[in-house]
Structure 1
Amino acid sequence: MTPRRGDGPHAPTFTERARRQQLIECTIDLISTRGYPATSLSAIAERAGLSKAAVLYHFASKDNLTKAALDQVMGEFSAYVTERLARAAGPREAVIAYVRAMIGYQQANRRHVRVITEMLLDDHGGTKLKTPSSHDTNGRWQALAALLIEGQEAGVLREFNPQTLALAIGGAIDGVIAHWLVHPDLDLDAAAAELETFTLNAIELRD
């Protein structure tokens, strides 16, 4: 059985696309519940009710499959944030929409947060995926820094170093989410409101 390697000249059939999506969902479930190291091809195949050979037909390796799962998670995350930014009335509102969206998506998609944590943030003896954003914190919060710069250029935000403040706000978001993952009884809605106040106090013009 020859593994498929992307669409190429022979695009996957509807059934093949559905099977690939099933395997990605099984991978997300396993990483979020068992962790990345325990998510083997055999475990994925068992969860999907397929043979390991069938999994390899669609994805040539565990790395390819787990990367596809991560790409889907990050793509949905990005689309969620982008959609809410598009509704913002101005630069100041866009910054707050960003903070709210970062918390809101993770609150609604706990298993996706686990995938991101397992594959990008946790160290598994070198087995985690090496992506450009793995430990580049400046890159992770570049979009927020861009929003802050836009607000400064529009004259609605005070003068500050946007990269430094983006890292500070981003670190606060990460801290809240990390605590929530361990202590799910945390009132994440209240925490989001506090983060909004924190952000406004940091960015707004002062008399």
Structure 2
Amino acid sequence: MTSRRGDGTPTFTEQARRGQLIECTIDLISTKGFPATSLAAIAERAGLSKAAVLYHFSSKDNLTRATLSYVLERFTSYVEEKVAAAPDPHAAVVAYVRAMVGYQRDNRRHVRVITEMLLDDADGTRLKNPGGHDTAGRWNTLADLLAAGQRAGALREFDPPTVALAIGGAIDGVIGHWLVHPDLDLDAAADELETFTLYAIEKRA
């Protein structure tokens, strides 16, 4: 996008409008699905013309990529903040698991955007990866935390990437069930995921 300032920096008004369009896109993707979220629908939700939307984002693809980046940046920042506050590597792993569940519990619309845009659909015919986001390596951060815990002598010996995949799969399974069955108690599920994680990583006599 080019700015009316002429220096490539969006004005305050332009930033606010871009934020509005991203929020409208989140609403539509989370309720209607990614394929049904058209540029016209976004414009209607925002109360703007399509031309006005295209002024801020030159295409639906650019707008949805910006929306996904917005969601992922906030998710990542939240988890990183919780992990950074942990007093030791052992606690950092627990903080990571709880942050992953806690953010998704509190930001259901964001979870829908991520699942709609990054994950396979039921029959495996669609794999969205807008903007080159790394879906295959999304548990690398957890693997790094596990490896750090091993180096500190706080965790048993195991293969960090494999255990990260197992823990990540458990988190995905719980969140996937919750999306279909929102009456699931995610706080209780987080307790169980913490117990599962500790059993998988802690040293045993």
Instruction: Bin the TM-score by the shorter chain.
Output: over 0.9
For each residue in 1:57-116, what CA deviation from the matched residue of structure 2 results, as whole angstroms up to 9, or x when unmatched?
Answer: 000000100010000000000110011011101000000000000000000000000000
Q: Measure the CA separation in 2 of the matches of 1:168 and 1:152.
A: 17
The 1:127–1:90 alpha-carbon spacing in structure 2 relative to 1, beyond 3 Å, is closer
- TM value normalised by structure 2: 0.93
Higher mean alpha-carbon deviation, 44-53 vs 7-16, is at: 7-16
Q: Measure the CA separation in 2 of the matches of 1:33 and 1:192.
A: 25
Q: Which residue of structure 1 lines up, in the alignment, with residue 100 of structure 2? A: 102
* 1:129 Cα deviation after fit: 3.6
Q: Map 1:186-205; keep pairs closer than 5 Å.
A: 186-205=184-203
Q: Which residue of structure 1 lines up, in the alignment, with residue 21 of structure 2? A: 23
- TM value normalised by structure 1: 0.93
* 1:206 Cα deviation after fit: 0.9
The 1:82–1:165 alpha-carbon spacing in structure 2 relative to 1, beyond 3 Å, is same
SS at match of 2:37: coil
Alignment of 1:162 with 2:166, yes or no, is no
| Aligned structure 1 segments of 4 or more residues deviating by more than 2 angstroms | 7-10, 122-135
Choose the corresponding residue for 2:183, options 182, 185, 199.
185
Choose the corresponding residue for 1:148, options 146, 150, 159.
146
Q: Considering only aligned residues, what root-mean-square deviation do their CA atoms show, in Å?
A: 1.8
The 1:189–1:196 alpha-carbon spacing in structure 2 relative to 1, beyond 3 Å, is same
Q: Extract unaligned runs of 5+ from structure 2.
A: none
The 1:8–1:160 alpha-carbon spacing in structure 2 relative to 1, beyond 3 Å, is farther
Query: Aligned residue pairs: how many?
Result: 202
Percent of aligned pairs sharing the same letter: 70
SS at match of 1:140: coil
